[in-house]
Amino acid sequence: MSRIEARWTTPLGSLAVFEPSTQALAHAAEGLARFYNEPHNAALLSNTLLFSSDDVIDFWRDAAADGSRAFLFARDGEVVGDGDFRNAVQGAAELAVLIGPRALQGLGLGARFVLMMLRVGFERLALKRVFVAIRPANAASLRLFERAGFVRDETPAARAYAEEDDDICMMLARATFFAHHAEVVQAMDVTENSLPRYS
Ligand SMILES: CC(C)(COP(=O)(O)OP(=O)(O)OC[C@H]1O[C@@H](n2cnc3c(N)ncnc32)[C@H](O)[C@@H]1OP(=O)(O)O)[C@@H](O)C(=O)NCCC(=O)NCCS
């Protein structure tokens, strides 16, 4: 079991996307619970329960046991969100991301962390296609994924990721990502070490 980490120095700060150790996840859990419980975030993420720190840890562990690969997002060393690849089937997976503090949304962080996640997914997790399912009211998310190169997808493979009937499903293929983002991809560093992931 190894831990993947991506780093990118941007005008918004030094960004890192990383799979945490057990200790790092425990350290971040209280902040993540706050992010998940924030009413605006909870609605867009279709979260219906209030999370405690322990719930967050259990949620991450259960997701890992189901094959998800989850990452913390840090800016200048501070955890500001998270993202994961879940429901992987035959080289495809669903991506979900969160910039937790409302004050940090809309600054361009989400767009950058998504590009970092996509490089990790396509390069290190051998994904060929990445899907997203978005609430129609989530204008930031729709715009963000369109700008990343995602296109609307009504195929059964894409609709399988929808949680609600009116979710908008989108897809990005590996070749499209590397063709559109070659410059950005070169600016990031992705490494993998042999230290254990959280458990
Ligand atoms: C959705 C989310 C990840 C976007 O990240 P962000 O850092 O807020 O977004 P960015 O600042 O990177 O903006 C991305 C694009 O959306 C646009 N945008 C940002 N906020 C917007 C808003 N409220 N309405 C319309 N467009 C918006 C930006 O202008 C940008 O487009 P541009 O590149 O053409 O300028 C973040 O807001 C979030 O975590 N929201 C709550 C949870 C969530 O919805 N997760 C996604 C589930 S699929």
Domains of the chain: 3-187 (3.40.630.30)
**At 154, is the pLDDT very low, low, confident or very high (cuts 50, 70, 90)?**
very high
CA 128, CA 3: separation in Å to the nearest integer?
21
Nearest CA to ligand 1 atom 18: 140
State pTM to two decimals.
0.97
Q: Residues lining ligand 1, judged by CB closer than 6 Å?
A: 41, 44-45, 96-99, 105-111, 132, 134, 138-141, 143-144, 147
Does pLDDT of 44 surpass 90? no
Whole-number pLDDT of residue 47: 85
What 3-state class would DSSP assign to 8?
strand
pLDDT band at 183 (very low <50, low <70, confident <90, very high): very high
Asked whether residue 115 carries a pLDDT value surpassing 80, the answer given is yes
Contact 169, 159 (CB under 8 A): yes
59, containing H or E segment: helix 53-65
Selection from 1, 2, 12 nearest residue 116 by Cα: 12
- 135, 167 Cβ separation under 8 angstroms: yes
d(CA 188, CA 98): 20
